[in-house]
Structure 1
Amino acid sequence: MSPSSKVIVFALILALTMVVNGVSAIFFVQKSSLTVLNSWAMGAKHDAAIATFGIPSYGGFMIGSVVYAGKGSYGCNSFNKTFKPKSPYPTILLIDRGVCNYPLKIWNGQQSGAAAVLLADNIVEPLITMDSPEESQDEDPHFLDKINIPSALILCSFGDSLKKALKRGEEVILKIEWSESIPNPDERVEYELWANTNDECGVHCNEQMNFIKNFKGKAQILEKGGHTLFTPHYISWSCPKELLHSMQCKTQCINQGRYCAPDPEQDFEDGYNGKDVVYENLRQLCVHRVAKEKNSSWVWWDYVTDFNIRCSMKEKKYSKECADTVVESLGLSLEKIKKCIGDPDADVENEVLKTEQAFQLGQENRGVITIFPTLIINNAQYRGKLERTSVLKAICSGFKERTEPPICLSADIETNECLEANGGCWQDKRFNVTACKDTYRGRVCECPVVHGVQYKGDGYTSCKPYGPARCSMNEGGCWSETKKGQTFSACLNSDTSGCRCPLGFHGDGLKCEDIDECKEKSACQCDGCKCKNNWGGYECECSNKSLYMKEQDTCIERRSESRSRWLFTIVGLTAVAGISFVAYIFYKYHLKSYMDSEIVSIMSQYIPLDSKNIHEESEQNRTEL
């Protein structure tokens, strides 16, 4: 590039910088996203600027223990060690800003086992957004894509407070919050992408095009269902007035220097120029407008994807003619799009691009668009890796709770973090009870409710059942043992929290041992008593077959039992005698009647008798009997 060309490029960038500096808020910073949980001295809430790389857990949060990498450890080289906190919480590594680029620091922090990295600013200034350089300075050119942990820049003052507390040996438990990073005012998410049609601008352009290709299907499903409203935007610059008639401005700008884009090859005399890029940016904006009029705004995703494939700048096919064929193949009106574009050579404002520049300078709390590409969801700038899963999760976190469309509940973005090492949460493997709960917004360690029994604890190291029904779950965490068919437990349903050894045992309730009442001489102290210890109790026996009365701890004779036996015997014998007497009378009566009838029968055969007399005599005998 010639010296004069470099001057023009610098002038274009300077023109934008001057406009940006006129706005109070340059960078979008997540407010109150850090909370110190265990130190009032450092205050509760602090701001942080999330990096444009890595994967923030949008819609969720992380609790971790802060570990300082050490003075002079800028993270520019591998730490060659693993940082471990004092507590079971994940590691949040604190590294100083300076010397090397942001992604390299975060990559080395991730390699050392950190779950998140905070960069402490080394100068007193407002927070800025950590962006990735055009080209990686690391030996591994693809390490940027491998960063999968969140990171953020914090103020110098807050970083100093953390370092001092850690130097005193204090443990700092920090909560990083992403649940409110994306506002969720209603049942529809509105989002926009600030892009560029130049596909030869290095890492950022590749990232943008890969994202559009991979996210197209998800975006169209959301938009066709009425769940989202998407709007594309394109960054443009303006040419300084003193350079309007220079060749450089004429090749990089349209509408007399009002809307410009840097030359793709940075060569103003050969190949494509910035004017071509601005023109295609405007065309893609008009494609969206025309498609929206047909209630099919999602066609924009098809156009951009197809244009990148069929009209690639790298393949020297980046032209108006190629773009027209893509427009016609999608059934859009070419005439309406040309009318929307207008005359790029006219010395007039272009309505579409003028509106774009106004949006670019920020509105309300949105902040100025200073990083390309930039995604804005519900007026909040998205930070993190621009890839399908991360962006879809961020968009889904923008829906009002319980109004997420089905696509937000798909396995594409729902990863069950509890499947790996139980998410670092408490677990009772014996009863398959865990404090790890996988939600759309990430895993949380919360003591569960199982079969109506509430567990209580920190969720990370301990959970114990609580309440009246707690004994039904693992005996409420209390001691319990079974021997010879007998089960004893230190859990009492009347006690909602504690453990007490049952009668016959002693201990703290978590461990109970049998009391030998016989050795302790606390039972069977009566005369003639013999004590026998059992598990969980005892038995007393009396000599001379006396009866032992436990309540009075005494023996009594069994007299009442002997009297009862004699009475029973007498009653029994009396009953037997009575039955025998009745049987004898009955037998005698029937025998005599039988004999009389037999005698009469025999005598009637030999001696004729008057039957009447015989009958009367027989009746008289019966009467006498």
Structure 2
Amino acid sequence: MASQRGLPAAAFLFLLLAAVAAPVTCRFVVEKGSVSVLSPENLRGSHNGAIANFGVPNYAATLVGSIVYPDKGTDGCNSFKDRFKSPSSHPVILLLDRGECYFAKKAWYGQEAGAAAVLIVDNKDEPLITMDTPEASGYTEDYVTKITIPSALIEYPFGKALKKAVAEEKSGGGEVVVKLDWTESMPHPDDRVEYELWTNSNDECGLRCDEQINFVKNFKGHAQLLERGGYTLFTPHYITWYCPSAYLLSRQCKSQCINNGRYCAPDPEKDFGSGYEGKDVVIENLRQLCVHRVANETRRPWVWWDFVTDFHLRCSMKQGKYSMKCAEEVVLSLGLPGDKIKECMGDPTRDAENPVLKNEQDRQVGNGSRGDVTILPTLLINDVQYRGQLDRTAVLQAVCAGFKETTEPHVCLNSDLETNECLENHGGCWHDSNLNISACKDTFRGRVCQCPTVNDVHYSGDGYTSCRAVGPGRCALNNGGCWSETRDGKTFSACSENELKGCRCPSGFSGDGKQCTDINECKDGIACQCDRCSCKNNWGGFDCSCRGNYLYLKGEDKCIAGTTSKFPLYLMVLFVFCVGGTGVAGYIFYKYRLRSYMDSEIMAIMSQYMPIDNQSNEVHPLMRESTV
């Protein structure tokens, strides 16, 4: 609707945008990935592909596929009747021509026809541009949010060469295979990833607003884990415009701007006569910036995610609850210092610069390799603009791609980012089908072959062809990968807890530890070498015996003379019995005589000091009391 007086809302919004762009020339930076031709041989090499602003780019990943160029409908503006098939086991990378419809529609129809990725050939020889979504141009298309495959725009000469190679393939030439390699599309200068989200507190701007609100809600958990661990540095930003000086006194400027036209936001309903005003949005944007600043000063920067999520739930513009009072209640509920946030916000009615919002306007202008920020939402990771859907998993993969190899935190290795390469043939890594363990491990960058640790037993090896259990406890798990066998109730093993690695056949067996064979000690002349010895081999050992009346001494491997008559044995038993009886009798006699002798001696001594039996009761002189 048009306003009651002055410029129409759409026209005035255009002036606001123009005002921002006036001081500088807008610079749009195209984020590129490598498109390498693997075959045919004459086309081998790498080329640039401008990553689309929709779908899910393969950050930190690669995709090898066969190029398919349709016989009909090469512009991809209509649904394909049949699904595309690859001439080999590679997935299909669909090649389409630019023109006639939106880029996103081409990618959507390609995805529906079974393509794993879409390359769109430019229709003239010119610098590459970023393929944007229809919604960003003012249209709403439901299919845009459903695109999950990556796509890119390639240069006209390169696309023309690919088309020619596909035509030769159909007439008997070789398969056209390309590799999309975006492992280095995201820079990773150090062990910390710095990223920023340009967003808005307004929740009535259609699909874009819904997208960023859902992203904040869904990504909050990941963001707070990364921030708490010190792995990332996150900064929120909010786009602002300013009013041209000629319109400072207009109703439009006064309703959409604060600080005398310096900081503006479009009217949420695009109707200056009703509902919320643009300046309401600017003030709330300012509050959310200050929430992050104050939370960062109190060393809790991750609280911003809680505030924004709670604000959209409790203070929704759609529900008519978008107000300063509601926002302050959210601040209080999160334990944030409200006075410091108000101090940070300053006075929006003053005819003066606001330091916080001035910084936001300065940051909108691109610097270095980064382009200008012109649309919402915009996500920058390590100062490079993220391309693709604002989806939780896709963004986490892009953030994780910003870490140096092997420095990524654990959250980057969760199941949401696994490549599932281990599901097919264990990813080509070592595996033990008996124990159902594998050296294959999925990561967001792809699978790695790494010997595992199972039940505190560590496996060591190259991970591709071999892994063996090492360390204590290894024999309890599949016998440490060593030989073991049971016969006749006896079990022998080549695994020993005393050895931390390797297998060694036990005594009585020979082999490499993986296979052990019983040694025939009798046949090989190892045991029972004495005269009159006879040898009998058994499982894991042997038994020796002597022929005739000889006894076998195992320790000396010797036979000694012996007899089978029982008479000498009887004599020996009788002799031992007699000797034993004599000893017992002597002990008893000795003990009796000794006691009699001692009793008589004691009686003799005592008789000298006291009367005994019939002796007189006279006290012995020695026992009398002395007198003076």
Counterparts in 2 of 1:282 and 1:182: CA distance versus 1, 3 Å: same
Taking the TM superposition and a 5 Å limit, the aligned residue runs for 1:172-321 are 172-321=176-325
**CA–CA separation in structure 2 for the residues paired with 1:44 and 1:348:** 56
Task: Give 3-state SS (helix, strand or coil) of 1:66's partner.
Answer: strand
Corresponding residue of 2:54: 53
Per-residue deviation at 1:138?
Answer: 11
Q: Does the aligned pair in 1 maintain the 2:426–2:438 contact within 8 Å? A: no
SS at match of 1:449: coil
Between the aligned partners of 2:338 and 2:383, the Cα distance in structure 1 is 32
How many positions carry a matched residue from both structures?
A: 448
Q: Which residue of 2 aligns with 1:572?
A: none
| Aligned counterparts of 1:236 and 1:71: Cα–Cα separation in 2 | 46
Corresponding residue for residue 362 of structure 2: 358
**Retained in 1: the 8 A contact 2:421–2:427?**
no
**d(CA) in 2 for partners of 1:429, 1:91:** 33
1:88-487 equivalences under 5 Å are: 88-134=89-135, 142-169=142-169, 171-419=175-423, 438-443=442-447, 449-451=464-466
Please tell me the root mean square deviation across aligned C-alpha atoms, in Å. Answer: 3.2
- How far residue 448 of structure 1 moved from its aligned partner, in angstroms, is 7.8
Q: CA deviation at 1:128?
A: 2.5
Flag the 1:395–1:334 CA change in 2: closer, same or farther, 3 A: same
Assess if the C-alpha contact under 8 Å between 2:430 and 2:449 holds in 1.
no
1:371 and 1:42 mapped to 2: Cα distance? 38
Superposed displacement of residue 208, structure 1: 0.3
Match of 2:619 in 1: none
The aligned counterpart of 2:577 is none
Q: 2 CA distance for matches of 1:336 and 1:135?
A: 37
TM-aligned CA distance change 1:162 to 1:425, over 3 Å: farther
Separation of aligned partners in 2, 1:162 and 1:342: 59
CA drift of 1:137 comes to 11
CA contact under 8 A between 2:430 and 2:465: conserved in structure 1? no
Deviation at 1:306, TM superposition (A): 0.6
The partner residue of 2:28 within 22, 26, 29 is 26
Aligned-pair CA distance for 1:72: 4.6
With over 3 angstroms needed to count, the CA separation of the structure-2 counterparts of 1:271 and 1:137, relative to structure 1, is closer
Post-superposition CA distance 1:266-299 (Å, at most 9, x none): 1011111211111111111110000000000001
Q: CA deviation at 1:328?
A: 1.3
Query: What TM-score do you get using the length of structure 1 for normalisation?
Result: 0.66
Counterpart position of 1:13: 17
C-alpha contact (below 8 Å) 1:35/1:45 kept by paired residues: yes
Residue 262 of structure 1 deviates from its aligned partner by 1.3
Contact 1:423 1:443 in 2 (8 A): no
Closer/same/farther in 2, CA of residues 362 and 40 from structure 1, 3 Å limit: farther
**Is the Cα contact below 8 Å between 1:27 and 1:370 reproduced in 2?**
no
1:254 aligned partner, one-letter code: I
What CA distance in whole angstroms lies between the structure 2 residues aligned with 1:95 and 1:108? 11
SS of 1:103's partner is helix
Between the aligned partners of 1:422 and 1:251, the Cα distance in structure 2 is: 64
The answer to which of 307-316 and 165-174 deviates more is: 165-174
Contact 1:253 1:260 in 2 (8 A): yes
Report if aligned partners of 2:449, 2:464 keep a CA contact under 8 Å in 1: no
Distance 2:88 2:429 in 1: 14
Conserved 8 A contact 2:417-2:443: no
Q: Quick one: distance in 2 between partners of 1:445 and 1:163?
A: 37
C-alpha spacing 1:136/1:375, structure 2 compared with 1 (3 Å)? closer
Question: Displacement, 1:426?
Answer: 11
In structure 2, distance between residues paired with 1:423 and 1:137: 47
- Distance in 2 of aligned mates of 1:85 and 1:244: 62
In structure 1, the partner of 2:37 is: 36
Secondary structure (helix, strand or coil) at the match of 2:180 reads strand
Q: What is the Cα deviation at residue 17 of structure 1?
A: 4.3
User: CA–CA distance in 2 between the matches of 1:190 and 1:138?
Assistant: 32
Whether contact under 8 Å (2:430, 2:464) holds in the other structure is: no
Distance in 2, matches of 1:333 and 1:16, equals: 33
Shift in alpha-carbon separation, 1:28–1:253, aligned structure 2, 3 A? farther
Deviation at 1:415, TM superposition (A): 4.4
Helix, strand or coil at the partner of 1:93: strand
- Please, what TM-score do these two structures have when normalized by structure 2? 0.66
Query: Residue in 1 aligned with 2:453?
Result: none
Offset of residue 437 of structure 1: 7.0
Instruction: State how far apart, in whole Å, the 2-side matches of 1:180 and 1:261 are.
Output: 36
- CA distance in structure 1 between the partners assigned to 2:51 and 2:180 by the alignment: 10
Whether the 8 Å CA contact 1:57–1:442 is kept in 2: the answer is no
Question: Unaligned regions of 5+ residues in structure 1, if any?
Answer: 454-625
* SS of residue matched to 1:304: helix
State yes or no: 1:75 paired with 2:90. no
- Contiguous gaps of at least 5 residues in structure 2: 451-461, 469-628
C-alpha distance in structure 1 between counterparts of 2:422 and 2:179, whole Å = 19
8 A Cα contact 2:430 2:463, kept in partner:
no
- In structure 2, C-alpha distance between the alignment counterparts of 1:405 and 1:256, rounded to whole Å: 46
Q: Structure 1 pair 222/444, CA: closer, same or farther in 2 (3 Å)?
A: closer
Pairwise CA distance, 1:243 = 2.2
When residues 427 and 223 of structure 1 are mapped into structure 2, their CA distance, relative to the original with a 3 A threshold, is closer
Match of 1:119, SS state, is strand
Shift of 1:175: 1.2
Measure, in 2, the Cα distance between the counterparts of 1:123 and 1:6: 33
User: Corresponding residue for 1:576?
Assistant: none
The residue aligned with 2:87 is: 86
The CA distance in 2 between the partners of 1:423 and 1:84, in whole Å, is 25
The answer on whether the counterparts of 1:134 and 1:202 sit within 8 Å (CA) in structure 2 is: no
**Secondary structure in 1 aligned to 2:50?**
strand
Answer whether contact 1:91 1:116 (CA < 8 A) is retained.
yes
Equivalents in 2 of 1:95, 1:433: separation in Å?
44
- Residue 178 of structure 1 and its aligned partner are, at CA, apart by 1.7
In the alignment, the residues of structure 2 paired with residue 289 and residue 5 of structure 1 have an alpha-carbon distance, to the nearest angstrom, of 33
Identical aligned pairs, as a percentage?
57
Q: What's the CA shift string for 1:452-510, capped at 9, x where partnerless?
A: 89xxxxxxxxxxxxxxxxxxxxxxxxxxxxxxxxxxxxxxxxxxxxxxxxxxxxxxxxx
Q: Partners in 1 of 2:206 and 2:313 — Cα distance? A: 17
Distance change >3 Å, CA 43–CA 253, structure 1 → 2? farther
Give the drift of 1:443.
4.9
* Partner SS for 2:134: coil
Query: What are the Cα deviations for residues 46-99 of structure 1, in whole angstroms up to 9, with x where unaligned?
Result: 222222222222211111111113465322221111222333221110112222
Instruction: Give the distance between the partners of 1:98 and 1:330, measured in 2 at CA.
Output: 51
CA 448–220 in structure 1, closer or farther in 2 if over 3 Å, else same: closer
Using the TM superposition, name which of 158-167 and 192-201 deviates more.
158-167
How big is the shift at 1:359?
1.6
Q: What code does the residue aligned with 2:222 have?
A: K
1:508-535 Cα distance to aligned partner (Å, 9 max, x none): xxxxxxxxxxxxxxxxxxxxxxxxxxxx
Residue range with higher mean Cα deviation, 301-310 or 428-437? 428-437
Letter in 1 for 2:89: P
| 3-state SS in 2 of match to 1:439 | coil
CA separation of 1:451/1:123 partners in 2, compared to 1, >3 Å: closer, same or farther? same
Equivalent pair of 1:255/1:346 in contact (CA under 8 Å): yes
